[in-house]
Chains A and B, each alone.
Chain A
Amino acid sequence: MIVADPKPFGQVKGYLENFEKILIVGCGTCVTVCLSGGEAEVQILASGLRIAFGREGRSKTILEGCVQRQCDEEFILPILNRVENEQIDAVVSLACGVGVNFFADRLGKTPIFPGVNTTFYGAGMEPGLWAEMCAGCGDCMTAHTGGICPVARCSKHLLNGPCGGSEKGKCEVDPANIDCVWQLIYDRLQKLGRVDELQNVLPAKDWRTASDGGVRRTVREHLYRLK
């Protein structure tokens, strides 16, 4: 799941100072699950904006919407139609950056602003807590590390064991909250009886599959460009 945090209220409000008719759009998938951009957050943000602008004597029209997923055309079409039909001046997306981009490509002259900061691919650790688990590097190497990813979960992205900042299984960056992933990997491989594999040095990672290779695309031939 993609995890995001709500942007500070003042920041969002700042984006909207010069617009009169504003549509806040939530996303019913990842950001709903991580409690930052679902329908409830749309309602709260919209109410807050009405109150804040109202207190300044400015009466703006703040509208609300939410779609199942902002990263597919069929789902966002109704919003695109609304923007046109209702002459919306600006849109705020509470989806991850994907949603913001996807809208921006299709919104014509209407500006769109992000309402959340997209942070990582993570998992819900316990109610109210999410942690990063994957970096989307495009060349998964967890087969060698007991299923635990050093790219995403090592503060330095080290591929061949811990650095000197690993102490009592914790990472020096934030010992209270971050485990040393190499400790986790070691423990895990020990459980699996594969700790010897740590002797094999992993080669330097080919980062072309990650962000360094340019904008990434994925094609599934069996459905791509159906006539």
Chain B
Amino acid sequence: MMEKEFTQILAGDMLATCSAACPVHTDTREYVQRLSRGDYEGALDILLEVNPFPSVCGRICHHPCEAECRRKEIDSAVSLRMLKRFVVENTKEYRIARQKKPAEKKEGTVAIIGSGPSGLTAALDLALSGYRVRVYEKDTKLGGMLAHAIPRYRLPVEALAQDIGDILAAGVEVRTGCQVGKDISFDDLRKENDAILIAAGLAESHSLPIPGTDSKGVFLGIPFLWDVANGMRPELGDRSLVVGGGNVAIDMARAAKRLGPSKVYMACLENREEMPAWKWEIEEAEQEGIEIFNSWGPKAILEKNGAVTGIDFKRCTSVFDDQHRFSPKYDESVTKSVEVDSVILAIGQKANLDFLAQTPVAVDRGRLQCDRTSMTTSERGVFVCGEVMTGPGSAIGAIGTGHDAAKVISHFLETGETLKLAERKVTTIGELPSATAALAKRFERVEVNLMDADERITNFSPIEPGYSESEALAESRRCLACATGAYLKSPAHCAGCLTCVRVCPFGVAKVEKTAVMPAQECQTCGLCAAECPAAGIALSRFATNGMRDTLRAILSKSDTAKIAKPLVVSYCCLNETTSRKFLGAQTEEEIRQSGILRVMIPCVARLSTLDLVSPIELGADKVAVIACTENGCFYTGAEELLARRVKRVQKFLDDIGVGQHNVQLFKTDGSAEESWPRIWEQFRSTPAQTVAPGELLAEGASR
């Protein structure tokens, strides 16, 4: 894998806020930066480092990373889930090519019960460690809730298949249609394996202790979703009501709406603000015509001749007690009756642990007894992960526990000992200070339009289009690349001259004995580094060394005569590209033939005077600096500083006899792909103007 551009922040458990918020600590900033440079494959490598389900997460992750994105202090969070989705959708072939081969086998066999995200994550980790891993799945399809409980309009089959394909390629064995406790006994599994991992999830729904729940037309949530995912169409009648206010309830209501009822309602105990479902899910449901009744508790399901005719509610006055424990209070005198033909209960899930009956694994009132820090059960060698351990949660949370389970099981297989997982102390770079944010330019988030609500309720097709390439690239550049900015090379370099303080557009640079650019505040524009008279400020994610090496390599070859003249080094604002056309690496042959050596830079204003002169020293004939479109720069004041720096270099080139016209500043006009070739052609065809050495300033002349 390519070396990470900037690993400092990951050292010592100091994370960017986005990475810290992610249960598996995805190196968000790194994959977004790779994407922004057109390195989609490298971005996928980063995603797969810690998450075997990037395709799934690109569709359905609740993206805690976005909730913690520091850009929201400026305008709004970077659309990280959509960027992830773009990466996986544009690297399909690469992903297959990079699939991990089964590792060399070592002693130790593990049986995993359940093929949801936690079980399969653990399976992959353990298989890659060399253990023989078998996953037992009672259904015919792998994926657990992902395969059965998430409606297709949110998670298409292909996305899940991509992720599972990787896992199977690594040598994980699977037994689908094999229910532990029925098709194979738990005891047999124990005899055959050195360790067992229970990752059975919460596959069953709770019912309600109210009259009428056994009527025809009452559905339990998870089996309902399961049927829908498998192409069945439960009979809902013309009006249906979902009881519950969580995300699963929303899925059910929206799935129900797609099955034909003219009216779908939701009713929940919580008021609007308390509803556990994500805000955006609630909004999308309402767009689809689903009506939500808040603060109502079900009292009785009404029936006639055994079939549902309606449901009675009583007013819920509060859901939680002072300690925020679930303890609903009602006002029985306030009631509401809704006429419906079916009722779907989405009031919570539970595990089916029947397979553990008559085994020594302790289960208490339907709950598996376990220790969460060691992921152990009452039986040695029997471990647990996923929602059966944590209770209802997110897919990415379950994936996190799968990694942990693999760790404790590996340790157990190697040492026979239990491993207590240390609580990982995560420190972050903290929020973006509001004073810094106030000085940053606003760039609106690239949003996609969901399919029209009227159209999307007609079927289960995905409702959310992915980003186009130009949209993804534009959005990726909104990432602040937190804490990848400027830093002082060493205190001895700094003269405390204050130049950095004076050019910083964000008021970040300070001189406290020596210059400091606090990582928490730095916006990575690079202007301080470009102007530092001590050449003492370095940038974490930009270097011109690559250009120098390439130029040296080309010009040191024997066939320099074949290089198209004039040879132009073109520094280009990377942020203006809308495709990979100019982002990919050029071959030496391409450079020789075109006479253009491209150097892509995230804002060309960070080029120092030396950066602009040194291509000439190395043998280039001309230097083009192609900045962004007019007023398109992320950094206030950068355009003027760059223009003045180029002017200085032009004068210097006159002084040294090269001629000022051999360095020029251009603005991108329209898209990079259209504009840049025109600029290159024009610049290359202008004859190089050289000032004769004799015209240089004479000794002693005033400047």
A residues near B (Cβ < 8 Å) are 5-6, 8-11, 13-14, 28-29, 32-35, 38-41, 43-44, 47-52, 54-56, 66, 68, 124, 127
**Interface of chain B residues 638 through 687 with chain A (CB within 8 A):** 652, 655-658
The answer to whether A40 and B610 touch across the interface, beta carbons within 8 angstroms, is yes
Pick the residue among A10, A38, A124 that contacts B534 (CB under 8 A).
A38
Bound CA span A47–B612, Å: 11
Residues of A within 8 A of B697 (CB): 8-11
When A40-B534, A55-B693 are in contact, do A9 and B656 touch as well, CB less than 8 Å?
A: yes
Q: Who on chain A is nearest to B654 by CB?
A: A9
Min distance, Cβ A38 to any Cβ of chain B, angstroms: 4
Interface centre among B498, B535, B609 (most CB of A within 10 A): B535
The answer to whether B693 and A52 touch across the interface, beta carbons within 8 angstroms, is yes
Check: B9 CB closer than 8 A to any chain A CB: no
Q: Who on chain A is nearest to B655 by CB?
A: A9
When A38-B533, A39-B493, A127-B499 are in contact, do A55 and B658 touch as well, CB less than 8 Å?
A: yes
The answer to whether A10 and B495 touch across the interface, beta carbons within 8 angstroms, is no
When A28-B495, A51-B617, A56-B693 are in contact, do A40 and B655 touch as well, CB less than 8 Å?
A: no
Check: B497 CB closer than 8 A to any chain A CB: yes
Residues of A within 8 A of B231 (CB): none
The answer to whether B535 and A10 touch across the interface, beta carbons within 8 angstroms, is no
Residues of A within 8 A of B614 (CB): 47
Min distance, Cβ A47 to any Cβ of chain B, angstroms: 5
Min distance, Cβ A225 to any Cβ of chain B, angstroms: 29
The answer to whether A51 and B535 touch across the interface, beta carbons within 8 angstroms, is no
Bitwise interface map of B from 568 to 603 toward A, beta carbon under 8 Å scored 1, else 0: 000000000000000000000000000000000000
Min distance, Cβ B111 to any Cβ of chain A, angstroms: 64
B contacts with A, residue count (CB < 8 A): 34
Pick the residue among B503, B534, B699, B700 that contacts A39 (CB under 8 A).
B534
The answer to whether B609 and A44 touch across the interface, beta carbons within 8 angstroms, is yes
Pick the residue among B497, B699, B703 that contacts A32 (CB under 8 A).
B497
Bound CA span A68–B493, Å: 8
Bound CA span A215–B656, Å: 38
Bound CA span A38–B608, Å: 14
Count the A-B residue pairs with Cβ separation under 8 angstroms: how many?
99
Bound CA span A158–B534, Å: 38
Bitwise interface map of B from 686 to 703 toward A, beta carbon under 8 Å scored 1, else 0: 000000010011111101
The answer to whether A8 and B703 touch across the interface, beta carbons within 8 angstroms, is yes
The answer to whether A10 and B699 touch across the interface, beta carbons within 8 angstroms, is yes
Pick the residue among A40, A51, A68 that contacts B658 (CB under 8 A).
A51
The answer to whether A44 and B613 touch across the interface, beta carbons within 8 angstroms, is yes
When A8-B701, A13-B696 are in contact, do A48 and B656 touch as well, CB less than 8 Å?
A: yes
Sampled A-B contacts (29; CB under 8 Å): A6-B703, A10-B697, A10-B698, A10-B701, A11-B697, A11-B698, A13-B696, A14-B699, A28-B493, A32-B497, A38-B495, A39-B493, A39-B536, A40-B532, A40-B533, A40-B535, A40-B609, A47-B614, A48-B613, A48-B655, A48-B656, A49-B656, A51-B613, A51-B656, A51-B657, A54-B617, A55-B657, A66-B534, A124-B498
When A38-B533, A44-B609 are in contact, do A50 and B698 touch as well, CB less than 8 Å?
A: no
Q: Who on chain B is nearest to A36 by CB?
A: B533
Bound CA span A41–B535, Å: 9
Residues of A within 8 A of B655 (CB): 8-10, 48
Interface centre among A32, A35, A50, A54 (most CB of B within 10 A): A32
Known: A11-B699, A29-B495, A40-B534. 11 other contacts (CB 8 A): A8-B701, A9-B652, A9-B656, A28-B493, A33-B497, A33-B498, A35-B533, A44-B613, A48-B655, A48-B656, A127-B502
* Interchain residue pairs A-B with the least CB separation, the first 3: A10-B696, A38-B533, A33-B497
The answer to whether A38 and B535 touch across the interface, beta carbons within 8 angstroms, is yes
